[in-house]
Amino acid sequence: MGWFSNLIPPSPASAMPPGVSDAGALGNNTNQFALADHTHASKARKMIAAITNATTYTWTYPTAFGAGVVPICNGIAQTAAGVTDLINVQIQGVPTNTQCTFVITRYQQSLASLLGLTILSLNTGGFTGNLHLIAFEP
Q: What is the pLDDT of residues 47-68, one digit of tens each?
A: 999 999 999 999 999 999 999 9
Nearest Cα to Cα of residue 52 among 123, 124, 133, 127: 127
- Looking at every residue in the chain, the average pLDDT score rounds to 81
Together in a domain, 27 and 85: no
The yes-or-no verdict on residue 115 having pLDDT over 70 is no
Q: Are residues 113 and 98 in the same domain?
A: yes
Question: So what's the pLDDT on residue 1?
Answer: 47
Average pLDDT of the segment spanning 107-132: 72
* CA pseudo-torsion sign 103, 80, 136, 39: positive
Q: What is the pLDDT of residue 116?
A: 63
Query: In 3D, which of 106, 104, 115 has the Cα closest to residue 84?
Result: 106
Same structural domain, 101 and 86: yes
DSSP class of residue 117 equals E
Number of domains making up the chain = 2
pLDDT tier at 121 (50, 70, 90 boundaries)? low
